[in-house]
Amino acid sequence: MAATLTTQDPATGQSGQSYSLHEPQEALAIAAATRKATAGWRKESFEHRAELMRRAARLLRERRDDLAALMTSEMGKTLTEGRAEIEKCAAHCDYFAENAAAFLAREEIDMGGPRAFVAFNPLGVVLAIMPWNFPFWQAVRFAAPALMAGNGAVLKHASNVPGCAFALEALFRDAGFPEDVFRTVLVRGADMEALIRSDDIAAVTLTGSVEAGRSVAAVAGSVIKKTVLELGGSDGYIVLADADIEAAAKVCATARMVNGGQSCIAGKRFIVTSANRAAFETAFVAAMRAYEMGDPRDEKTKLGPLQSIAARDEIHKKVQESVAKGARILCGGEIPAGPGAFYPATVLTDVRPGQPAYDEEIFGPVAAVIEAKDEEDAIHIANDSPFGLGSGVLTRDLARGESIAAERLAAGMSFVNAPVRSDPKLPFGGVKHSGYGRECARFGIQEFVNIKTVLVQG
């Protein structure tokens, strides 16, 4: 009998639907079927692929409420954030339907005689290993450009969002994509190595932990397969001396609390100079307290449960360890009574090296306030992290903020006076332990193509 997994509602603890896991050979057979389907798909015109991708966007919008409710039941996302996520997925599909042909058009090279150009051809089947925190966006973020480039796609989603994975497979099929060109496999982590090594898989993309990235990169590297890794983040936001403190506090709270704090690009470390620290902490605590816990199905709720009790308890453990090593709690920091994986918006101050709040990524609604002596020290602290995904600068001096963001911060993305976010038009990815490669924009679609030189001598 096939092994099964059963989902659990993080808000109530109640069990949901059960799903049968694919056995290793079943997963390999799915990859083979996708490779076979891709042989025909790669020959389709951009116009045809775009037509189907636009249909997928329409279906996402038509099914928005049901898909948002599915996310709520499986990983606790509020309905409001869930609906926004589905709209973002639809916009992403539309964007690549509109722009893929131009992004992958042949580029002529002047060789002063023979004709030369660069062609962009699909690689084959891309295996995507995706996390639970944005169950549709993470998957569509890779799938739309990969499919528009003529690749096939196999999705191995997180074990707590199987319904989301199969809903996306059904959606692409209903949009008219070939039967096997986008497939979901539901397998154990231990069974992934054989899938990565399979000759039917051409490349791998992963969004997840640093440990998962190391493991996948090692296996893929051993068989010389292209990978794109988007790993953890501990984004530092610098509040400069001239910042509008009230406005900065609101930006920082928004950055910290996206998806209940469960985001790689959520702001996590907020670095402020001594002169502004007291005023910033007062304003920041007020902004964070506005995120009150509640039923994720209530339209007014701004902070739902975390994805699991185990995740909540791990976050609380890191808060307690930070406090034991000298941090102070300004708000939150206590597990509430009652069912569900709830944890309040929490602000820690006196955060220093050696504390989990300084050294590690806390994947939940916990913000760390770190004092800097001056601007140079603030930049040093922001860069004093193994991660390099996103970063922020809060200032009234836009030229100064732009200079720091563009030249001084060691991150794949730096935003001035705004929370870091992903967008189809902007390349997305990190440096250091936050991974390598890019998603979205022209850079993202060109990650999984053969950039091929062609020269024709007359």
Break the chain into its structural domains and give their ranges.
Answer: 4-231+434-456, 235-422
Question: Residue 346 corresponds to which tokens in the numbers above?
Answer: 């929490």
Query: What is the C-alpha to C-alpha distance for residues 344 and 153, in angstroms, rounded to an integer?
Result: 38
pLDDT digits (tens, 9 = 90+) for 387-445: 999 999 999 999 999 999 999 999 999 999 999 999 999 999 999 999 999 999 999 99
Q: What's the average model confidence in pLDDT over 233-259? A: 97
| Residues in the chain, total | 458
81, 230, 361, 447: which is the annotated catalytic residue? Answer: 230
- In the residue annotation, 264 being an active-site residue is answered as yes
- In the residue annotation, 23 being an active-site residue is answered as no
Nearest to 397 by CA among 417, 420, 421: 417
The answer to whether the 4-231+434-456 and 235-422 domains have the same CATH topology is no
Q: For the chain, how far is it from start to end, CA to CA, in angstroms?
A: 64
DSSP letters along 141-180, please? Answer: HHHHHHHHTT-EEEEE--TT-HHHHHHHHHHHHHTT--TT
Amino acid 1: pLDDT = 58
Q: What's the average model confidence in pLDDT over 341-365? A: 98
3-class secondary structure, 109: strand
Q: What whole-number percentage of the chain has pLDDT above 90?
A: 99
89, 93, 164, 264: which is the annotated catalytic residue? Answer: 264
Question: Residue 354 corresponds to which tokens in the numbers above?
Answer: 């050696």
pTM: 0.97
Q: In the CATH hierarchy, which top-level class contains the domain 4-231+434-456? A: alpha beta
Tell me if 54 sits within 8 A of 148, measured CB to CB. no
DSSP letters along 284-351, please? Answer: HHHHHHTS-B--TTSTT-SB---S-HHHHHHHHHHHHHHHHTT-EEEE--SPPSSSSS----EEEES-
Query: What is the C-alpha to C-alpha distance for residues 131 and 259, in angstroms, rounded to an integer?
Result: 13
CATH classification number, 235-422, choose in 3.40.309.10, 3.30.930.10, 2.60.40.1180, 3.40.50.720: 3.40.309.10
Query: What is the C-alpha to C-alpha distance for residues 106 and 450, in angstroms, rounded to an integer?
Result: 12
pLDDT digits (tens, 9 = 90+) for 279-327: 999 999 999 999 999 999 999 999 999 999 999 999 999 999 999 999 9
pLDDT digits (tens, 9 = 90+) for 74-106: 999 999 999 999 999 999 999 999 999 999 999
